[in-house]
Structure 1
Amino acid sequence: MLKHRKPHLPQKICLVCNLPFNWRKKWKKNWDHVKYCSEKCRRNKIQ
């Protein structure tokens, strides 16, 4: 049985934690504007 793999998804680096994160379906419409990997990082951004 083959597992479903997603090797070619776009990746970005989070501006807060500097870790890479992959494209998610919920970001489909606004991937160009996504800057943070999680809600926690978004709340803890430096202003």
Structure 2
Amino acid sequence: MPDKFRNPNQLPTKICMTCGKPFTWRKKWEKNWDEVKFCSDKCRSQKPTEKSQKETS
């Protein structure tokens, strides 16, 4: 991780695709941060389907 992220207030964040809440970069996601879409295992297991996404739109 680059030095610019040493300060916890400067860590990158994303929005969870399931619950819509923001979550912050974690060391365990260092190698695949670009692929992370869910904030937790629970949200990943309940990931939205195409059908449910169309219903909410």
Question: Which structure has the larger Rg?
Answer: 2
Higher RCO (CA < 8 A, seq sep 6+) = 1
- For residues 1-47 of structure 1, what are the alpha-carbon distances to aligned partners after superposition, in whole Å with 9 as ceiling and x for unaligned? xxxx6110000000000000000000000000000000000000123
Structure 2 unaligned blocks of 5 or more: 1-6, 50-57
Identity %: 58
Structure 1 unaligned blocks of 5 or more: none
Aligned residues between the structures: 43
The runs of at least 4 consecutive aligned structure 1 residues that moved more than 3 Å come to none
Cα RMSD over matched residues? 0.9
Provide the C-alpha distance between the structure 2 equivalents of 1:46 and 1:13, rounded to a whole number of angstroms: 14
Q: What is the TM-score when the length of structure 1 is the normalising length? A: 0.86
More helix by share: 2
